[in-house]
Amino acid sequence: MRILIVEDEVGLADAVSAILKREGYETDTANDGISGLELAMEGKYDCILLDIMLPRMNGLDVLSYLRVKENETPVLLLTARSETDDKIKGLDCGADDYLTKPFSMGELLARIRAMTRRRGIVPDINPKYGDITLEMKKGELICGRNSVILGRKEFQMMELLISNAGQITTKEQFVKKIWGTDDESEYNNVEVYISFLRKKLVMLHSAVQIKTRRGIGYCLDGAK
Ligand code: CA
């Protein structure tokens, strides 16, 4: 398992690298956005830890460029507390997860394990609900002739909603299944991704809606 660390705080990059190596990962480190992007484009990494505020090219631009070039390596954004807006932008540009600095190494390792585990085997069956189909291999949500690529977390959330069709999926279930934690502070993320999914359903002109059951969770509606 090879991990790329793109972080301009050299002390932090070195500390993270040392701990990952101790855990059995191979690591490479870049201290600015351009060198990070060049390494990332080689496509040999299982995971990229990407700081947002970087010299030469910021982390969000690096991430957008990778995704435009169809490099789908899982990306964990490292953000400072003051960069909340960037965090949302980052998720929108295709980051898989983010971690707010300062973070504990235990937390970092847990996120890396969760992200890489989720890259596992892709089943052959495409889940359906109403007029929508989740294309597992391409990571697309399809409605009639329209289709849209879902981000990794959006995809997992839609998969969970479809597999729980007819019942409510609670925020706790999303957080447990997708973030691999039961930390209530992740509940806001669930709301953010639900809003992304709702926008995409509208874009697809689907009759399917994600209904909020206040205080409980979400469920799909609109199958005939
Ligand atoms: Ca930085």
Q: How far is the CA of 70 from the centre of ligand 1 (A)?
A: 25
pLDDT (0 to 100) of residue 86: 81
- Per-residue pLDDT 10s for the chain (224 aa) are 899 999 999 999 999 999 999 888 899 999 999 999 999 999 889 899 999 999 999 999 999 999 999 898 999 999 887 777 887 888 888 899 889 988 888 889 888 888 877 766 344 467 889 999 998 878 899 999 999 999 989 999 998 898 888 889 999 999 988 888 888 888 889 999 999 999 999 999 999 999 999 888 999 999 87
Residue that terminates a domain, selected from 88, 118, 148: 118
> Distance, CA 9 to ligand 1 centroid (Å)?
6
pTM over 0.85: no
- What's the CA-to-centroid distance between 89 and ligand 1, angstroms? 17
How much distance in Å is there from the Cα of 148 to the middle of ligand 1? 32
Q: How far is the CA of 51 from the centre of ligand 1 (A)?
A: 6
Domain count, the chain: 2
Is residue 178 included in any domain, yes or no?
Answer: yes
Q: How far is the CA of 4 from the centre of ligand 1 (A)?
A: 15
In which domain, by residue range, is 31 found? 2-118
- Give the model's pLDDT for residue 87: 78
Query: Could you tell me the CATH number of the domain that includes residue 209?
Result: 1.10.10.10
Name the nearest CA neighbour of 53 among 25, 18, 12, 24. 12
The neighbour count for residue 70, using CB atoms within 10 Å, is 7
107: CA distance to ligand 1 center in Å? 19
105 C-alpha to ligand 1 centroid (Å): 17
Burial class (CB in 10 A: 0-12, 13-18, 19+), 211: exposed
Q: Are residues 136 and 204 in the same domain?
A: yes
Q: Are residues 9 and 107 in the same domain?
A: yes
Considering the domain architecture, whether residues 101 and 162 belong to the same structural domain is answered as no
Residue 142 and residue 35 share a domain: no
- How many angstroms separate the Cα of 206 from the Cα of each of 139, 181, 223? 17, 32, 10
